[in-house]
Amino acid sequence: MISDGDDTNSTKIAEAIQKGYKQVGEKINTMDNKTLLQLTTASRNEASVAERARISKELQDADTVFYSINPTGSGIELSKNGMFGQANMQAFATQTGGTAFLPKFAPTETKDSLQNDSNIRKNQAALDQIFKQIASELRVAREIQMGMLPHDFAKFEQPYGVTFGAVLEPAREVGGDLYGVCAAGPERLMIFLGDVSGNGISRQ
Protein backbone atom coordinates (compact mmCIF):
# COMPACT_ATOMS: atom_id res chain seq x y z
CA MET A 1 0.00 0.00 0.00
CA ILE A 2 1.48 3.32 -1.07
CA SER A 3 -0.19 6.54 -0.01
CA ASP A 4 0.97 10.12 0.38
CA GLY A 5 -2.11 10.86 2.46
CA ASP A 6 -3.65 13.20 -0.08
CA ASP A 7 -6.77 11.71 -1.64
CA THR A 8 -8.39 14.97 -2.72
CA ASN A 9 -7.74 14.29 -6.40
CA SER A 10 -8.34 10.55 -6.43
CA THR A 11 -10.74 8.85 -8.81
CA LYS A 12 -13.30 8.25 -6.07
CA ILE A 13 -13.24 11.90 -5.06
CA ALA A 14 -13.80 12.96 -8.67
CA GLU A 15 -16.66 10.47 -8.97
CA ALA A 16 -18.26 11.83 -5.81
CA ILE A 17 -18.11 15.37 -7.14
CA GLN A 18 -19.73 14.33 -10.41
CA LYS A 19 -22.40 12.43 -8.47
CA GLY A 20 -23.17 15.60 -6.52
CA TYR A 21 -23.62 17.49 -9.77
CA LYS A 22 -25.99 14.84 -11.13
CA GLN A 23 -28.11 14.89 -7.97
CA VAL A 24 -29.02 18.55 -8.42
CA GLY A 25 -29.94 17.90 -12.05
CA GLU A 26 -30.71 20.82 -14.32
CA LYS A 27 -30.44 23.27 -11.41
CA ILE A 28 -26.67 23.15 -11.81
CA ASN A 29 -26.99 25.22 -14.99
CA THR A 30 -28.49 28.13 -13.03
CA MET A 31 -26.11 28.06 -10.07
CA ASP A 32 -23.76 30.97 -9.53
CA ASN A 33 -20.05 30.28 -8.99
CA LYS A 34 -20.29 30.56 -5.21
CA THR A 35 -23.10 28.03 -4.94
CA LEU A 36 -21.37 25.65 -7.36
CA LEU A 37 -18.19 25.88 -5.31
CA GLN A 38 -20.12 25.09 -2.13
CA LEU A 39 -21.69 22.05 -3.78
CA THR A 40 -18.31 20.85 -5.05
CA THR A 41 -16.66 21.34 -1.67
CA ALA A 42 -19.46 19.55 0.19
CA SER A 43 -19.33 16.56 -2.17
CA ARG A 44 -15.54 16.39 -1.98
CA ASN A 45 -15.40 16.65 1.80
CA GLU A 46 -18.03 13.96 2.31
CA ALA A 47 -16.20 11.60 -0.04
CA SER A 48 -12.82 12.48 1.49
CA VAL A 49 -13.97 11.29 4.90
CA ALA A 50 -15.08 7.99 3.39
CA GLU A 51 -11.82 7.69 1.44
CA ARG A 52 -9.81 8.35 4.56
CA ALA A 53 -11.60 5.49 6.33
CA ARG A 54 -11.10 3.20 3.32
CA ILE A 55 -7.39 3.96 2.98
CA SER A 56 -6.91 3.60 6.72
CA LYS A 57 -8.35 0.08 6.60
CA GLU A 58 -6.16 -0.82 3.62
CA LEU A 59 -3.11 0.45 5.47
CA GLN A 60 -4.00 -1.69 8.46
CA ASP A 61 -4.16 -4.76 6.19
CA ALA A 62 -1.09 -3.92 4.12
CA ASP A 63 2.15 -5.88 4.34
CA THR A 64 4.27 -2.78 3.80
CA VAL A 65 3.45 0.90 4.15
CA PHE A 66 5.44 3.75 2.61
CA TYR A 67 5.11 7.35 3.73
CA SER A 68 6.28 10.02 1.31
CA ILE A 69 7.85 13.26 2.44
CA ASN A 70 5.24 15.98 2.18
CA PRO A 71 6.83 19.42 2.69
CA THR A 72 4.78 22.55 3.31
CA GLY A 73 5.41 26.10 4.35
CA SER A 74 4.53 29.69 3.64
CA GLY A 75 6.51 29.49 0.41
CA ILE A 76 4.13 26.87 -0.94
CA GLU A 77 0.45 27.44 -1.66
CA LEU A 78 -0.95 25.35 1.14
CA SER A 79 -4.62 24.98 0.30
CA LYS A 80 -7.24 23.31 2.46
CA ASN A 81 -6.83 20.24 0.28
CA GLY A 82 -3.11 20.12 1.04
CA MET A 83 -3.71 20.45 4.76
CA PHE A 84 -6.25 17.64 4.57
CA GLY A 85 -3.65 15.45 2.86
CA GLN A 86 -1.07 16.20 5.55
CA ALA A 87 -3.56 15.43 8.28
CA ASN A 88 -4.25 12.10 6.57
CA MET A 89 -0.56 11.26 6.40
CA GLN A 90 -0.12 11.90 10.10
CA ALA A 91 -3.25 9.94 10.98
CA PHE A 92 -2.19 6.98 8.85
CA ALA A 93 1.27 7.02 10.39
CA THR A 94 -0.15 7.05 13.91
CA GLN A 95 -2.58 4.22 13.16
CA THR A 96 0.00 1.92 11.56
CA GLY A 97 3.09 2.74 13.58
CA GLY A 98 4.74 4.38 10.57
CA THR A 99 6.36 7.77 10.20
CA ALA A 100 5.07 10.80 8.32
CA PHE A 101 7.76 13.31 7.38
CA LEU A 102 6.17 16.77 7.23
CA PRO A 103 8.93 19.41 7.13
CA LYS A 104 7.88 23.04 7.31
CA PHE A 105 9.70 24.75 4.46
CA ALA A 106 10.63 28.41 4.57
CA PRO A 107 9.44 30.63 1.68
CA THR A 108 11.75 30.83 -1.33
CA GLU A 109 9.82 33.24 -3.54
CA THR A 110 9.90 36.43 -1.50
CA LYS A 111 11.09 39.80 -2.77
CA ASP A 112 14.31 39.40 -0.77
CA SER A 113 16.71 37.34 -2.92
CA LEU A 114 19.21 36.96 -0.09
CA GLN A 115 16.50 35.62 2.20
CA ASN A 116 15.36 33.26 -0.55
CA ASP A 117 18.89 31.86 -0.91
CA SER A 118 19.14 31.42 2.85
CA ASN A 119 15.77 29.68 3.00
CA ILE A 120 16.72 27.34 0.15
CA ARG A 121 19.74 26.23 2.17
CA LYS A 122 17.57 25.77 5.27
CA ASN A 123 15.03 23.73 3.33
CA GLN A 124 17.74 21.52 1.88
CA ALA A 125 19.18 21.02 5.35
CA ALA A 126 15.74 19.92 6.58
CA LEU A 127 15.49 17.36 3.77
CA ASP A 128 19.04 16.16 4.42
CA GLN A 129 18.11 15.57 8.06
CA ILE A 130 15.09 13.51 7.03
CA PHE A 131 17.16 11.41 4.63
CA LYS A 132 19.71 10.80 7.40
CA GLN A 133 16.93 9.66 9.72
CA ILE A 134 15.54 7.30 7.08
CA ALA A 135 19.02 5.90 6.42
CA SER A 136 19.55 5.40 10.15
CA GLU A 137 16.24 3.54 10.51
CA LEU A 138 17.13 1.31 7.55
CA ARG A 139 20.49 0.49 9.13
CA VAL A 140 18.73 -0.52 12.32
CA ALA A 141 16.29 -2.66 10.30
CA ARG A 142 19.25 -4.33 8.59
CA GLU A 143 20.91 -5.09 11.92
CA ILE A 144 17.67 -6.58 13.24
CA GLN A 145 17.30 -8.74 10.15
CA MET A 146 20.90 -9.96 10.31
CA GLY A 147 20.47 -10.67 14.02
CA MET A 148 17.52 -12.97 13.32
CA LEU A 149 19.58 -15.25 11.06
CA PRO A 150 21.66 -18.11 12.49
CA HIS A 151 25.43 -17.71 12.39
CA ASP A 152 26.65 -20.42 14.74
CA PHE A 153 25.93 -23.95 13.51
CA ALA A 154 28.10 -25.78 16.04
CA LYS A 155 25.11 -27.49 17.69
CA PHE A 156 24.35 -29.20 14.38
CA GLU A 157 27.81 -29.75 12.94
CA GLN A 158 29.31 -32.12 15.54
CA PRO A 159 26.21 -34.29 16.22
CA TYR A 160 25.44 -34.69 12.53
CA GLY A 161 28.99 -34.74 11.20
CA VAL A 162 28.53 -31.82 8.82
CA THR A 163 29.97 -28.34 8.34
CA PHE A 164 27.90 -25.27 7.54
CA GLY A 165 28.78 -21.80 6.31
CA ALA A 166 26.29 -19.09 5.33
CA VAL A 167 26.44 -15.49 4.17
CA LEU A 168 23.51 -13.21 3.35
CA GLU A 169 24.11 -9.86 1.64
CA PRO A 170 20.90 -8.01 0.75
CA ALA A 171 20.95 -6.17 -2.56
CA ARG A 172 19.84 -3.08 -0.65
CA GLU A 173 19.72 -2.06 3.00
CA VAL A 174 17.09 -4.64 3.87
CA GLY A 175 16.12 -7.74 1.90
CA GLY A 176 13.48 -10.42 1.99
CA ASP A 177 15.67 -13.53 1.88
CA LEU A 178 16.38 -15.86 4.79
CA TYR A 179 17.91 -19.20 5.67
CA GLY A 180 18.07 -21.59 8.59
CA VAL A 181 18.82 -25.10 9.82
CA CYS A 182 16.84 -27.22 12.25
CA ALA A 183 16.81 -30.83 13.41
CA ALA A 184 14.11 -32.95 11.78
CA GLY A 185 15.07 -36.18 13.58
CA PRO A 186 18.03 -38.03 15.10
CA GLU A 187 19.57 -38.51 11.68
CA ARG A 188 17.89 -35.80 9.65
CA LEU A 189 18.59 -32.08 9.28
CA MET A 190 16.27 -29.61 7.60
CA ILE A 191 17.87 -26.78 5.67
CA PHE A 192 15.54 -24.07 4.43
CA LEU A 193 16.03 -21.06 2.19
CA GLY A 194 13.62 -18.22 1.55
CA ASP A 195 13.99 -16.15 -1.60
CA VAL A 196 11.52 -13.31 -2.04
CA SER A 197 11.35 -11.88 -5.55
CA GLY A 198 12.52 -8.31 -5.97
CA ASN A 199 14.87 -6.18 -3.90
CA GLY A 200 14.62 -3.81 -0.98
CA ILE A 201 12.27 -3.16 1.89
CA SER A 202 9.25 -3.15 -0.40
CA ARG A 203 9.50 -6.96 -0.38
CA GLN A 204 9.27 -7.28 3.39
- 3-state per-residue secondary structure call for 133-185: HHHHHHHHHHHHHHHHCCCCCHHHHHHHCCCCCCCCCCCCCCCCCEEEEEEEE
Residues 112-121 have a mean pLDDT of 88
Residues 16-40 have a mean pLDDT of 88
Residues 144-173 have a mean pLDDT of 82
Confidence of residue 4 (pLDDT cuts 50, 70, 90): very low
CA angle in degrees (0–180, nearest 5) for 84-87-90:
155
CA distance 194 to 177: 5
Residues 15-33 have a mean pLDDT of 88
This prediction has a pTM of 0.49
